[in-house]
Amino acid sequence: MKRSDIVRHVLEDGENQELTARSVGKIFDFFLEEIASSLERGEDVKISGFGTFIVRKIKARPGRNPRTGEPVPIPEHHTVLFHPSRSFFKK
Amino acid sequence: MTRDDLIRRIAEEMPGISIPEARRLILLFVEGMKKGLNEAENLEFRRFGVFEVHHRKARTARNPRTGASVQVGSRRSLVFRQGKVLKARMKNLTKRTI
């Protein structure tokens, strides 16, 4: 499933009046962009009924190149975790 | 940032979209995404990331308090993997905080 499937889902809603696929796509892009920029600022994003995106700091640790076995340091970095809302897999 | 903040931001920045309309759209986005994931389909958004449905097998676990064996049924879990662009953007945060 991808962006175009989400756009189609919105357009199929009975209450949809005048929105075009292009404008729904634009709004969806803006929605993802707002989430990404909040995460980039280090702020978690909580979407009720869907889940929470959490920014987590990962400490530096020694790693290895799995192919050669050569030690490679992994520097401190940030990553995004997602915790699905509890309502998720119930239908 | 919460869902309400996102609704407000959409209404502010997208021409012709009111707050109630932005709310309707976000609810539809979430509903659409959940529908796909419930059908065990992965969700893939370029530059943002992928939501993957993982299947966990049924297993015998133990109640850590009593040590009694408990059967845990098969279940699904959801894993988010950041896309390349989002991963690169998170580096900006790392740079700023070091």
Give B93's contacts in chain A (Cβ within 8 Å): 39-42, 55, 78
Mean pLDDT value across chain B: 93
* A75 DSSP assignment: P
Task: Report helix, strand or coil for A46.
Answer: strand
- Per-residue pLDDT band for A25 (boundaries 50, 70, 90) equals very high
Strand partners, B55: B76
Domain ranges of chain A: 1-41, 42-91
CATH for A42-91, among 4.10.520.10, 3.40.50.300, 3.30.70.1380, 3.40.50.970? 4.10.520.10
* List of chain A residues whose C-beta atoms are within 8 Å of the C-beta of residue B22: 27
A88 pLDDT band (50/70/90 cuts)?
Answer: confident
- Which residue of chain A comes nearest to B87, CA vs CA? A79
For residue A90, the model assigns a pLDDT of 59
Interface test with B, best of A8, A47, A86 (most B CBs within 10 A): A47
Q: Where are the beta strands (DSSP E) in chain A?
A: 45-47, 51-58, 61-64, 71-74, 77-84
pTM for the whole structure: 0.89
Q: How far is B47 from chain A (nearest CA, A)?
A: 10
In the predicted model, what is the mean pLDDT of residues A12-18? 79
Q: Which of A7-16, A18-27, B4-13 has the lowest mean pLDDT?
A: A7-16
Mean pLDDT of A51-68: 95
The residue written with tokens 């969700």 in the block is: B43
Q: In the structure, what pLDDT confidence band is assigned to residue A91 with cuts at 50, 70 and 90?
A: very low
Q: What is the pLDDT of residues B20-64, one digit of tens each?
A: 999 999 999 999 999 999 887 899 999 999 999 999 999 999 999
A53/B80 CB distance under 8 A: yes
Count Cβ–Cβ pairs < 8 Å, chain A vs chain B.
133
Contact A81 B80 (CB under 8 A): yes
At residue A54, does pLDDT exceed 90? yes
